[in-house]
Amino acid sequence: MPAPREGLSIALLDGSTERILATRKRLESMGHRPIAFAQPVDLLQALSHAQRFDMLFLGIQDNVIRKSLCAVCGVIRIPVLFIVDGANWTALAPWGADFANGDAIELDVERTSNEELDRRMQTLLRDRSALSPAVNEAQAPSWHGYQFMPEACLVLHRDREIRLQPRQFALALELFRNMGHVVSRDRITRVVWKTASLREGTRVLDVCATGVRSRLALHGENGLLLRAVYGQGYQIVLVRPRIGAAEEGCATPG
């Protein structure tokens, strides 16, 4: 199957410099637009600045890193094609459920044909479309004037476009879906971080919640308040919108 006319924007992340150079050359010859990243943090930085890709080619062999990147890509609907060699093929087995949006291919640029590689890529794209149809503005979930655009990690509110980091978006969506109810820290950890528990002593969950509160102005001014429930989790509640200090100062005494 020929590559799409415009080609695909493909992120490349691999621990092997030799393989990533060969993979980039192969993809360019197929008409795609590969962008190589030296470290996982570089890719996450690009995603946090709303750079989007049609697919991720992932050759990192560390299971923890692969699982984390897959969780992020699952939220923003970027399919992942895992590049493994024969010796590491079984390493994917324990993570089957977590890598549900990915395929695995033993990629040897000297042996894998363009046709086989393209077939895998097109299968991934078709599976993504079938399982997670794109959400347009008319279909996007909305609560109290906050409209969520999952494909872009974007929230629309009062004619503003608010871009969130992938985990901020996942947390905000989970909290809005359960508005009025406390979402436990355990559930947030499972839904947002795709793991059973976070490292003891880490405050990444609280930092993420603080970012959501700040970015979406959930301090009460807009009638919604994101509050921490001690020992339990987080909750978005309806409140009476706060009156601005200037308006209070101009109020006529009763």
Strand partners, 157: 160
Domains of the chain, residue spans: 9-131, 142-238
* pLDDT score, position 158: 86
Q: What's the CATH number for 9-131?
A: 3.40.50.2300
Residue 91 above 50 pLDDT? no
Quick one: average pLDDT of 115-141?
Answer: 66
Query: Residue 103: which pLDDT band, with cuts at 50, 70 and 90?
Result: low
Q: Higher confidence at residue 251 or residue 84?
A: 84
Q: Pick from 120, 104, 118: which is nearest to 26 by CA?
A: 118
Please tell me which residue, 6 or 232, carries the higher pLDDT value: 232
The pLDDT of residue 2:
45
Cα–Cα nearest to 50, from 153, 170, 168: 153
Model confidence, pTM: 0.50
Instruction: Compute the distance between CA of residue 167 and CA of residue 197 in angstroms, rounded to an integer.
Output: 15
Count of CB atoms situated within 10 Å of the CB of 175 = 25
Mean pLDDT computed over 6-35: 90
Band of residue 138 on the pLDDT scale cut at 50, 70, 90:
very low
Q: Which uninterrupted H or E stretch holds 238?
A: strand 233-238
Write down the pLDDT at residue 136.
47
pLDDT-derived band at 243 (thresholds 50, 70, 90) equals: low
* Number of C-beta neighbours around residue 109 at 10 A: 15
| The predicted structure's pLDDT at residue 3 | 43
More confident residue, 50 or 80: 80
119-142 mean pLDDT? 64
pLDDT of 155 higher than 70: yes
Top-ranked range on mean pLDDT: pick from 28-32, 97-101, 191-195? 28-32
Which secondary structure element, helix H or strand E, spans residue 3, and what is its range? none
**What pLDDT is attached to residue 162?**
93
pLDDT average, residue stretch 118-146: 68
Q: Return the higher-pLDDT residue of 118 and 254.
A: 118
- Taking the CB of residue 2, how many other CB atoms lie within 10 A of it? 9
- What single letter denotes the amino acid at residue 232? Q
SS3 call for 253? coil
CATH number 1.10.579.10 given to 142-238? no
pLDDT of amino acid 13: 92
- Per-residue pLDDT tens for 171-181? 999 999 999 99
